[in-house]
Amino acid sequence: MTSRALVIGPAEYAGESGVRAYTEIGVSAVQYGEVLAGNPMWGGDRCRVLGPDEVMTAGDVMAALEEEAGRTGPDDIFMVVYIGHGAYWNDVPGAEVHFSVGSSYKDKPWTWLSSWYLYRAMRLCRAGLKVLIADCCYSNMLPHLGNGIRSLPGVLDDAGQGTCVLTALKDDNVRAWPHGCERLPGRLAHCTPFSGHLLNVLGNGTTDHRPELTLGLLRDAVEEEMSLCPIQHDRPRMLLNDARESRALFTNRMDPAKRAPRPDVPAGTGEWVTALLQGNDCDLRELLKDPRRTGDVVARLRASSRDGAASIARRIDKEASERFTEPGDFARYWNKAERAPRP
């Protein structure tokens, strides 16, 4: 496995640029590098933190991005972390979120990096899972791309290629608070609040029984930690496109002795649906022992509007089609599963 992570954090700008420099951006970038280096699923040789001279222009950033993307294969994860300023102009061709680079000027959109180019390079990369972590203003707007494309799948969709975008902001909140959270330990207190809390979760792990932090677990843990912090924070958001919430992204650093015991197999249809949507690593063989229940679960997932529900339903449907070769079993499954309209 040659999963690669690229961290982009332009912290310095020309004095007359009108773009404010924040030390928190640079500290966050360095901390992503350190935390990833210490995470067994990654390690220092898989993570590249761009230095100040590598984030001066959009061309510099894209060259590094293409280089790292080119090193990944179908079994790998390609993760891009961006910490910096985000801007959004709706009077430029194809209004999209723009990311600042070291030579960006306020009110000069052409000096910024359009998120479209970053998406394009991610889409073309061969990695089986692509993850973008965006910690900047307007990151809530990332799914709203211009040219009439209102949703992420139109841009990042690529048959069976999962994508996850984790953003610092949710809903209509456009301003990301740049100053550190004093409640965080050590250097993390000097990161931006979203990155500081996310890195704190990665450093400590969670009490979940699993040895790895899945996409779903990470999202829930960061949301929970930020909502429990005495300092009031913006709420983060995660968007999935064909990426399973159960996909492992980091090693869970929590001492195994302090983790919760592995829960029993879900009991009823409702418990199965909840567990699958939460990204729990359920043993599907247990579910597939019962064709009717499998059908019920698929029907419930198809009717759900939750991110990822449709792709989980497709995955179970595929396994069910292979498993229920006996006509009676298949009919029992089919009768239940097909009650819900296909999306």
* Least distance to Zn ion, CB of residue 194, Å: 9
* Least distance to Zn ion, CB of residue 313, Å: 36
Rank residues 21 and 231 by Cβ distance to Zn ion and give the closer one: 231
Rounded Cα–Cα distance for residues 303 and 315 (Å): 15
Q: Strand runs (DSSP E) across the chain, as ranges? A: 4-8, 47-49, 77-83, 86-88, 97-99, 113-114, 129-135, 162-167, 212-214, 237-241, 248-251
- Residue 123, both tokens: 């889409």
* Least distance to Zn ion, CB of residue 181, Å: 3
* Least distance to Zn ion, CB of residue 32, Å: 17
* Least distance to Zn ion, CB of residue 139, Å: 18
Rank residues 194 and 333 by Cβ distance to Zn ion and give the closer one: 194
* Least distance to Zn ion, CB of residue 228, Å: 9
Q: Are 288 and 294 in contact (CB under 8 A)?
A: yes
Residues whose CB falls within 8 Å of the CB of residue 212, separated by 6 or more in sequence, listed in order = 41, 248, 249, 250, 251, 252
Give the rounded distance of the alpha carbon of 33 from its chain centre: 17
Rank residues 142 and 181 by Cβ distance to Zn ion and give the closer one: 181
* Least distance to Zn ion, CB of residue 198, Å: 11
Q: Which residues bind Zn ion (CB under 5 A)?
A: 181, 183, 229, 231
DSSP H or E segment with residue 64: helix 58-69
The residue among 311, 81, 115 whose CA lies nearest residue 216 is: 311
Rank residues 64 and 229 by Cβ distance to Zn ion and give the closer one: 229
How far from 336 is each of 203, 210, 322, 333, 341, CA to CA, in Å?
44, 31, 17, 6, 11
| CB atoms near residue 12 (< 10 Å) | 16
Rank residues 174 and 231 by Cβ distance to Zn ion and give the closer one: 231
Q: CB burial class (10 A; 0-12, 13-18, 19+) of residue 278?
A: middle
Rank residues 189 and 282 by Cβ distance to Zn ion and give the closer one: 189
Rank residues 183 and 339 by Cβ distance to Zn ion and give the closer one: 183
